């Protein structure tokens, strides 16, 4: 039965799907498929070889087979809104085009009323607010608790997915509270889950170059572990294409899957490439489209215990997202409504608030569009009406497990 994590017997199912999709020739990819089937996991050594040497077509085929074995042709999206409470930040990560100093002309910090006024026009058609931002020099846990509580009070149906790990760390230091105390306070205020931003590359030498002063890799994992123990599901991410090597990327994936072995609290992994516009990292490698697709496939292959892999349209664009859906990804995020972080860095992706358009993107890529909740409960299947009906879509309710 298909549930929020897909078919539980995907390991038994995927070799058949590989054959149905045409089979694999590349010896490294064959070895990876065999390891997943027999040993349950691909080693870091093989992961590095896959990343550097494997045939991309076969790698994509295995990524797709693993996705189809778990989720069949379904592709997930939600109806959400991004609201960034402030772009003022005490740090200056070298890849970040979003942050501003307090005195910058375009620096902003939303009051509670302004925050609510961003949500209000979208409230009736969204089910999630995704809220991350800079590390404001004055704001404490109380301010975020008020933001979240006020939003939940005004719109009880909304799921509040707020705060990256570095924001949690900042609040812990501003309010002199432990991570458990910060997250418990915010959960009580209405926080429902954490996004995964800020993982960058989980290697402290790389972090010292690209985001000096941010939480350490151990702290990132510790904050997510704490959230999981408190019953807050989280996502996790990777920013690739700065100054890291293949080994760093694979170790990053391994650290995430080890934490997932312990807690099971990660819902979705979101890999995205560095976007260079207006940032300060001239030595960055940048990523080609092929490399981005390779990372999507590798993520699906290495992260055998994290159910969802996201093709983050806001970063990689709709065209690459469509290819990613045939390379291992099963999720395209949501309607978004408004986005600053990736667009400040050069993203051109539409933030049009249009479920029909999102459904068309998914169906054109060969998928079945499924609207989901924050925690991946599947509640609507989108079906295209005949073109004579203006290419409109209808949303049919689906019962979980069907
Ligand atoms: S990435 Fe986050 S913590 Fe780093 S400068 Fe930008 S807003 Fe601040």
Which of 82, 163, 166 has most ligand 1 atoms within 8 Å of CB, for mutation? 166
Is residue 14 included in any domain, yes or no?
A: no
Sign of CA dihedral 185, 190, 192, 195: negative
Does residue 240 lie within any of the structural domains? yes
pLDDT of residue 349: 62
User: Could you tell me if residue 295 is inside a domain?
Assistant: yes
Cα 287 to middle of ligand 1, angstroms = 21
171 in a domain, yes or no? yes
pLDDT of residue 286: 79
Residue 381, domain member (yes or no) = yes
For tokens 């590349």, what's the residue?
26
| Enclosing domain of residue 101 | 74-397
pLDDT for 247 beyond 70 = yes
Q: How far is the CA of 177 from the centre of ligand 1 (A)?
A: 21
pTM higher than 0.85, yes or no? Answer: yes
Q: Give how many domains the chain has, as a whole number.
A: 1
**pLDDT-derived band at 388, boundaries 50, 70, 90:** low
How many beta carbons lie within 10 A of that of residue 123, not counting itself?
Answer: 16
User: Quick check: is 283 in a domain?
Assistant: yes
pLDDT, tens digit (0-9, with 9 covering 90-100), for 5-35: 999 999 999 999 999 999 999 999 999 999 9
Pocket around ligand 1 at a 6 A CB cut-off: 89, 91-93, 96, 98-99, 134-135, 166, 211, 214
Q: What number does the ligand 1 atom closest to the CA of 92 have?
A: 5
Mean pLDDT of the chain: 92
CATH of the domain at 90: 3.20.20.70
Q: Is residue 12 part of a domain?
A: no
Nearest to 293 by CA among 57, 69, 66: 57
**Is residue 35 situated within a structural domain?**
no
pLDDT at residue 3, as a whole number: 84
**Looking at ligand 1, which residue's alpha carbon is closest to its atom 7?**
134
* 96 alpha carbon – ligand 1 mean position (Å): 6
Count of all residues that appear for the chain in the document: 402
Model confidence band, residue 276 (pLDDT cutoffs 50, 70, 90): confident
Q: Using most ligand atoms within 8 A of CB, pick from 92, 93, 131 the residue to mutate for ligand 1.
A: 93
pLDDT digits (tens, 9 = 90+) for 37-74: 999 999 999 999 999 999 999 999 999 999 999 999 99
pLDDT at 283: 84
């Amino acid at each position: 039965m298909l549930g929020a994590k897909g078919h539980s017997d995907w390991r038994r199912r995927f070799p058949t799907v590989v054959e149905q999709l045409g089979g694999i020739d590349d010896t490294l990819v064959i070895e990876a498929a065999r390891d997943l089937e027999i040993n349950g996991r691909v080693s870091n050594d093989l992961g590095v070889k896959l990343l550097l040497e494997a045939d991309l077509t076969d790698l994509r085929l295995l990524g797709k087979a693993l996705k189809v074995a778990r989720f069949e042709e379904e592709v997930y999206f939600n109806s959400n809104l991004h609201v960034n409470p402030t772009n003022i930040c005490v740090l200056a990560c070298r890849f970040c085009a979003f942050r501003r100093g307090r005195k910058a002309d375009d620096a902003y910090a939303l009051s509670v009323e302004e925050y609510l006024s961003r949500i209000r026009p979208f409230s009736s058609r969204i089910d999630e607010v995704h809220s991350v931002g800079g590390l404001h020099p004055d704001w404490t846990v109380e301010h975020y608790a008020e933001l979240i509580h006020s939003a939940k009070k005004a719109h009880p149906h909304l799921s509040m997915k707020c705060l990256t790990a570095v924001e949690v760390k900042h609040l812990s230091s501003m309010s002199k509270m432990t991570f458990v105390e910060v997250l418990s306070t915010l959960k009580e205020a209405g926080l429902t889950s954490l996004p995964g931003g800020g993982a960058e590359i989980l290697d402290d030498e790389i972090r010292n170059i690209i985001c000096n002063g941010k939480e350490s890799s151990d702290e990132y994992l510790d904050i997510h572990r704490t959230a999981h123990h408190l019953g807050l599901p989280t996502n996790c991410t990777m920013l690739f294409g700065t100054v890291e090597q293949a080994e760093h990327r694979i170790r990053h994936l391994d650290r995430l899957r080890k934490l997932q072995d312990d807690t099971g609290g990660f819902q979705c992994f979101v890999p995205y490439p560095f976007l260079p516009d207006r940032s300060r990292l001239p030595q960055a490698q940048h990523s080609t489209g092929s490399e981005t697709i390779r990372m999507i496939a590798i993520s699906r292959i290495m992260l055998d215990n994290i159910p969802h892999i996201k093709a983050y349209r806001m970063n990689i664009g709709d065209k690459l997202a469509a290819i990613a859906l045939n390379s291992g990804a099963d999720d395209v995020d949501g309607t978004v409504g408004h986005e600053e972080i990736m667009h400040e860095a050069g993203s051109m992706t539409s933030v049009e608030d249009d479920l029909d358009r999102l459904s068309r993107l998914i169906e054109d890529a060969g998928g079945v569009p499924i609207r989901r909740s924050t925690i991946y409960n599947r509640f609507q299947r989108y079906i295209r009406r005949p073109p004579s009906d203006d290419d409109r879509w209808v949303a049919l309710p689906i019962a979980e497990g069907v």
